[in-house]
């Protein structure tokens, strides 16, 4: 029994020694840094990008013509056009009730006829005494009185004719007409309204239907603007149309330090006055923070880049992109210039991973 216990103890000691020796030869698990794979990286740098100079603004008519009634106090009887209608110069837009003015005109024409008849009679009376000066048939005073009465009657007749002509003109102006050809972009009048009751124009007409972009450009970029400069204008629905600078404002706003640039656009139904648009000036370049387009990742949360820290740890950082050109994309917001990012965002790199950087032939 004693020998058996000794044998068991020897086997236990041998087993413990074997385990200790195995433990001494066990290899430690690699760290995340040691397991990191090598990826290509680039820095966020300031680069010139063609078309990198952009400006935004509002679409406005080139010539915004306001149309209202010339006469006050008349009721609108008809509105003849709606917003969106194309009209020609001189085309009626609205009519006012002319019944009162027509009655006044008829009365005035009757006065004209009466006064003309009186003038004709007085002139005939004056003609009958023509050549009797100094004859003694009538005194000189009587002769002069007849002649004066004739002239007065004719002047009164002419005054009544002028009054009738003025009424006729007023009658014509009860029809509101478009002074230019173009597109009706606003209508505020309704049948039954009284003319002269509001300072708001009844109609606004974009002459020839021409709508252009009034873009606001910063003072630092204003010197590069000139008429004829080509621009790509992006509308609210992301449609891109070609335009060119038509007019550069001679002044910069004191408060905003922005200047207005008018960009001529084609006449199209999807270019609407009052809309918002952005212009990229394709012939100009601007130095902006940028990365290769491949470095930007797009997912459900938007655009981002994978920033590599000094310890090799990767962090996903959201960015807002701008213009593109030459394989690079502008970063409107995001990590600062000089940050190291993964060159190919499609790589299976997740935030929190460790990587080893590969600069390629660029340090």
Q: Is the dihedral of CA 30, 34, 36, 37 positive or negative?
A: negative
Mean pLDDT of 324-344: 88
Mean pLDDT of 280-295: 84
Q: Per-domain residue ranges for the chain?
A: 37-48+287-358, 54-63+210-285, 98-173
The kind and range of the H/E element at 359 are none
Computed on alpha carbons and rounded to an integer, the radius of gyration of the chain in Å comes to 45
Cα–Cα distance, 223 to 214 (Å, whole number): 17
37-48+287-358 has CATH 3.30.465.10 classification: no
Cα–Cα distance, 91 to 147 (Å, whole number): 49
Query: Given this model, what pLDDT does residue 363 score?
Result: 52
Provide the token pair at 96. Answer: 């006012």
Give the position of tokens 């087993």.
15
Compare 194 and 135 and report the one with higher pLDDT: 194
Q: State which fold the 54-63+210-285 domain adopts.
A: Elongation Factor Tu (Ef-tu); domain 3 (2.40.30)
| pLDDT reading at 167 higher than 50 | yes
Residue-wise pLDDT for 99-154, tens only, equals 988 998 899 999 999 889 988 888 887 777 675 555 555 666 777 787 888 889 88
Mean pLDDT over all residues of the chain?
Answer: 85
Residue 351 neighbours by CB distance under 10 Å: 12
**Pairing relation of β-strands 37-43 and 355-358?**
parallel
What predicted TM-score, i.e. pTM, was given to this entire model?
0.62
């Amino acid at each position: 029994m004693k020998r058996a216990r000794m044998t068991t103890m020897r086997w236990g000691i041998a087993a413990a020694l074997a385990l200790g020796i195995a433990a001494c030869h066990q290899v430690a698990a690699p760290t995340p840094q040691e397991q990191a794979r090598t990826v290509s990286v680039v820095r966020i740098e300031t680069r010139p990008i063609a078309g990198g100079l952009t400006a935004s603004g509002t679409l406005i008519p080139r010539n915004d013509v306001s149309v209202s009634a010339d006469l006050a106090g008349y009721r609108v009887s008809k509105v003849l056009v709606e917003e969106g209608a194309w009209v020609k110069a001189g085309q009626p837009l609205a009519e006012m009730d002319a019944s009162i003015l027509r009655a006044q005109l008829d009365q005035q024409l009757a006065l004209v006829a009466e006064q003309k008849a009186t003038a004709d009679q007085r002139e005939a009376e004056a003609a009958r005494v023509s050549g009797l000066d100094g004859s003694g048939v009538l005194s000189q005073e009587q002769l002069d009185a007849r002649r004066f009465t004739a002239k007065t009657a004719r002047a009164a007749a002419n005054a009544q004719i002028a009054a009738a002509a003025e009424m006729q003109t007023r009658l014509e102006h009860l029809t509101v007409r478009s002074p230019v050809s173009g597109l009706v972009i606003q209508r505020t009048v309704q049948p039954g309204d009284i003319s002269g009751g509001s300072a708001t124009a009844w109609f606004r007409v974009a002459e020839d239907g021409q709508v252009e972009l009034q873009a606001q450009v910063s003072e630092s970029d204003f010197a590069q603007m000139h008429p004829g400069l080509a621009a790509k204008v992006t509308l609210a629905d992301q449609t891109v149309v070609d335009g060119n600078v038509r007019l550069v404002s001679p002044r910069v706003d004191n408060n905003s330090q922005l200047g207005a640039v008018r960009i001529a656009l084609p006449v199209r139904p999807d270019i609407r006055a009052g809309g918002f648009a952005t212009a990229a000036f394709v012939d100009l370049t601007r130095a902006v923070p940028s990365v290769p387009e491949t470095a930007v990742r797009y997912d459900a949360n938007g655009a981002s880049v994978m920033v590599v820290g000094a310890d090799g740890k990767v962090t996903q950082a959201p960015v807002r992109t701008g213009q593109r050109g030459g394989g690079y994309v502008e970063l409107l917001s995001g990590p600062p210039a000089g940050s190291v990012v993964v060159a190919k965002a499609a790589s299976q790199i997740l935030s929190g991973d460790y990587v080893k950087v590969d600069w390629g032939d660029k340090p």
